[in-house]
């Protein structure tokens, strides 16, 4: 009897969330930008938007979910923002009707259905934090940073001997070990305008060092 009561209560809760006969939007939907992909993850009465940037996961916003007729309503957990979506003609993707509310450049945006969703966003963020800790540990030493720079260089299809030359050339150019470790970290976020300038100067130094190494090998 108790089990039947629990099942009945669950059914009532589900009907309150979606409404009898209304659309079930549970799943994941993607909007791809030049530098990143945004993922809208809908589960039950909650929705999350996270970004995928260079294999990194970054949480962007959370919404409360409700359904009105054939429309998905997303109400921001912080503030009064409401985003309205409806099912696309493909009957899987979503058409956003006012996506400027999400700071996108246009109101009408197609969020393509992602067959791999819905995602466990909390687990994705935990995994990201674990990776960040591993990177931080690896990049806390000059040797670890040196190998990271070499690996990143080789991903640009350059041979290892040229890539191993780059950290040595940076030293010749006057880049300190501290700046080498600091600005080689892919997760660094400048804390000031001056630091942002330093980061850009360092990136320019890396390019110059790579060109010198290539010229020397030629």
Q: Which of 62-76, 80-94, 129-143, 165-179 shows the lowest mean pLDDT across its residues?
A: 129-143
At residue 201's C-alpha, the angle toward residues 199 and 205, to 5°, is 115
For residue 194, what pLDDT is reported?
A: 86
Contact assessment for residue 44 and residue 17, using Cβ atoms and an 8 Å cutoff: yes
Task: State the pLDDT confidence band at 9, using cuts at 50, 70 and 90.
Answer: very low
Dist CA 65 CA 29 (whole Å): 15
**pTM score over 0.75:** no
Answer whether residue 177 shows pLDDT above 50.
yes
Confidence of residue 1 (pLDDT cuts 50, 70, 90): very low
Contacts of 153 (CB under 8 A, 6+ apart): 162, 163, 166, 210
CATH (one of 3.30.420.40, 2.40.128.50, 3.90.330.10, 1.50.10.10) for 2-118: 2.40.128.50
Rounded distance between C-alpha atoms, residue 180 and residue 44, angstroms: 46
Can you name the residues that pair with 43 across neighbouring β-strands? 46
H/E stretch holding 127 reads helix 121-138
The full DSSP string for 134-190 is HHHHHTTSHHHHHHHHHHHHHTTT--HHHHHHHHHHHHHTT--HHHHHHHT-TT---
The pLDDT score that the predictor gives to residue 29 is 96
**SS3 call for 27:** strand
Task: Please answer whether residues 121 and 59 qualify as being in contact, where contact means their C-beta atoms are separated by less than 8 angstroms.
Answer: yes
Mean pLDDT to the nearest integer, 104-131: 89
* Cis peptide leading into residue 118 (ω within 30°): yes
For residue 189, pLDDT beyond 90: no
φ/ψ (deg, to 5) at 64: -90, 135
In the chain, domain spans: 2-118, 139-217
Tokens coding 122: 């909390």
Mean pLDDT for the chain? 84
Q: In terms of residues, how long is the chain? A: 218
Q: How many helices (H) and strands (E) does the chain have?
A: 6, 8
Task: Name which residue leads in pLDDT, 53 or 26.
Answer: 26
């Amino acid at each position: 009897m108790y089990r039947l009561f629990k099942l009945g209560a669950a059914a009532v809760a589900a009907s309150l969330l979606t409404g009898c006969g209304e659309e079930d939007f549970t799943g994941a939907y993607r909007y791809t930008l030049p530098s990143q992909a945004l993922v809208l993850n809908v589960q039950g009465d909650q929705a999350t938007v996270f970004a995928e940037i260079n294999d990194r996961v970054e949480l962007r916003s959370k919404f409360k979910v409700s359904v009105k007729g054939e429309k998905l309503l997303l109400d921001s957990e912080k503030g009064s923002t409401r985003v309205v979506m409806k099912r696309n003609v493909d009957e899987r993707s979503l058409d956003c009707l006012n996506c400027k509310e999400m700071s996108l450049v246009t109101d009408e945006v197609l969020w393509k259905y992602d067959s791999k969703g819905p995602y466990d966003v909390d687990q994705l963020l935990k995994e990201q934090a674990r990776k960040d800790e591993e990177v931080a540990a690896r990049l806390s030493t000059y040797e670890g940073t040196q190998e990271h720079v070499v690996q990143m260089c080789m991903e640009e299809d350059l041979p290892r001997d040229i890539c191993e030359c780059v950290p040595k050339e940076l030293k010749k150019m006057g880049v300190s070990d501290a700046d080498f470790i600091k600005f080689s970290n892919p997760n660094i976020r400048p804390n000031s305008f001056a630091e942002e300038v330093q980061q850009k100067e360092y990136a320019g130094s890396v390019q110059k060092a790579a060109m010198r190494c290539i010229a020397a090998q030629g």
